[in-house]
Amino acid sequence: MDILLRYLHLFAVFILAGSLIIENIAIAKTLAKEDIRQLLKVDAAYGMSAVVVLLCGLALWLWVGKPSEFYTGNPVFHAKLTLFILVGLLSIYPTMFFMKQRKCDSDTIAVPAGVIRILRIELLLVAVIPLLAFLMARGIGA
Q: What is the pTM of this model?
A: 0.89
Q: What's the domain range around 121?
A: 2-137
70 is a domain residue: yes
41 is a domain residue: yes
What is the number of domains present in the chain? Answer: 1
> Which whole-number Å values give the CA distances from 86 to 77, 89, 118, 126, 142, in the listed order?
14, 5, 11, 10, 23
142 is a domain residue: no
Mean pLDDT for the chain?
A: 93
22 is a domain residue: yes
Cα three-residue angle 119-81-46, rounded to 5 degrees? 40
- Amino acid sitting at position 85: I
Over 90: is that where the pLDDT of 35 sits?
yes
pLDDT of 56 reads 95
| Average pLDDT of span 54-63 | 92
| Average pLDDT of span 118-137 | 94
Among residues of the chain, what percentage have pLDDT more than 90?
Answer: 78
